[in-house]
Amino acid sequence: MVSIRTGKGTQVYIAGHGLAIEEPAELAPGISVSPKVITFETSFGSRGGEEFQTHAAVLSMERLATFSIVVEHPDGGEALARKSWNAIWLFGLLALACRTHVISLYSGVPEYPHEFSLTNRHTFIRPLPCVAITPDQVRWAANYFDTYSALLGERRFRGAQRYYNNAHYLPDADAKIMLLWAGIESLLDVDAELRRSIALHAAILHGGDSEAKAARFRDVKRAYDIRSKVVHGSDVDGAKLEAAVEFASDLLLDLLRRTLEIGRMPKGAELDEAASRAAFP
């Protein structure tokens, strides 16, 4: 069961997987990224039922832990638990900063080695490549911390971020691609002529000159065609499907980052209007 336990401490370490950092770095007041990972005592003698299962899962995850998000609150207790619970979403912010999947594993209190809990409901986790986060990426995450926190209040953004996060756990490429495109469609606020509208909106939000945007438009349409084949049960070559999953994952990540940079959720109507104002040579 996913939860946060704080004991009587004033700090919670949320162990993560997918990135490495050399020195602690602040994301926001009382929240930092640290190379330190806490581990727990391994006595199973007094544990039973759900607690035994949680402890076993944490022990299996310890070998994957490569960094922690450290949350501090001087009052401890409920205030610390609430702040730590919200901080689980920050693994998504770090994923956007590093442009790779980053996941939470478990949490614990350094002063109380028995106080631990799972922050990931998936107890079987396929290892990720470990990416070293750069100082510029840490600054990017810190700069967009408040914007990210605010956008999590938007259903479309929150859903798209969750779909990106969860796609990694799916074992099959066809399931991954459907979940990723669900996130893309949610973020772009389209409800008609999906293929063309999604490609057009993605191209408008894409950085670069008109040629780069035109290329993006073509690439997204081709990728959407593969998505449609999967959804409707058509056969897709394995290599093409894997490439399409990677494209969809990168596209969703780019759109989430672009939304942060804009600072709000763009509406479908305004993207259509932006397209209508584009000059024709």
What would the pLDDT profile of 97-121 be if each residue is shown by its tens digit?
999 999 999 998 887 767 788 999 8
On whether residue 148 sits in a domain, the answer given is: no
Residue pLDDT, tens place only, 125-134: 888 889 999 9
Kindly report the pTM of this predicted structure. 0.86
Q: Do residue 129 and residue 158 come from a single domain?
A: no
Q: Is 219 a domain residue? A: yes
Nearest-angstrom CA–CA distance, 271 and 160: 18
Distance of CA 207 to the CA centre of its chain: 21
Does residue 281 fall inside a structural domain? no
* 124 and 171 part of one domain: no
Between 85 and 57, the higher pLDDT residue: 85
Q: 158: part of which helix (H) or strand (E)?
A: helix 155-167
281 burial type by CB count under 10 A (0-12 exposed, 13-18 middle, 19+ buried)? exposed
Same domain for 106 and 164, yes or no, is: no
Last residue of a domain, one of 143, 166, 189: 143
Q: What angle do CA 5, 11, 16 make, to 5 degrees?
A: 75
In a domain, 199, yes or no: yes
Q: Mean of the pLDDT values across residues 196-220?
A: 84
Same domain, 78 and 34: yes
Based on the domain organization, do 131 and 170 belong to the same domain?
no
Within this chain, do residues 175 and 111 fall inside the same structural domain, yes or no? no
Instruction: Check pLDDT > 50 for residue 279.
Output: no
Same domain, 169 and 198: yes
Number of domains in the chain: 2
Q: For residue 184, what are the contacts with CB-CB under 8 A and spacing of at least 6?
A: 160, 198, 202, 248, 251, 252, 255
Q: Is residue 149 part of a domain?
A: no
Mark whether 19 and 114 lie in a shared domain: yes
Q: Is residue 26 part of a domain?
A: yes
Instruction: Give the mean pLDDT of the chain.
Output: 87
Query: Same domain for 132 and 219?
Result: no
Considering the domain architecture, whether residues 81 and 175 belong to the same structural domain is answered as no
Looking at 103, 123, 143, which one is the last position of a domain?
A: 143
Range of the domain at 167: 154-276
